[in-house]
Amino acid sequence: MTVDQPPFQAWILGGIDAALGYHRWAVYLASQLLVATGFWAVWRLSLRIVPPAGALVAVVLLEGVLFL
């Protein structure tokens, strides 16, 4: 299987580079914002399936996943 487009991560980093220039703090900030967005998305999705305690468990377990 070939990939015709770069991964979403490359698009985000390219946008940050175009907007701010390459700064380590900007890349680190973007990565932390994306992690927080991912946790929020898992929280919201799991609330549709399980009670809030189960949603919290889902987010905590997601923290233990090394490769997502």
pLDDT in tens, 16-55: 888 988 888 888 998 899 889 999 999 999 999 999 999 9
pTM of the model: 0.73
**Cα torsion 66, 42, 5, 11: sign:** negative
Q: What is the pLDDT of residue 2?
A: 66
Of the two residues 25 and 9, the one the predictor is more confident about is 25
Q: Do 38 and 68 meet the contact criterion of CB atoms below 8 Å apart?
A: yes
The more confident residue out of 67 and 33 is 33
Q: Residue 59's pLDDT is what?
A: 92
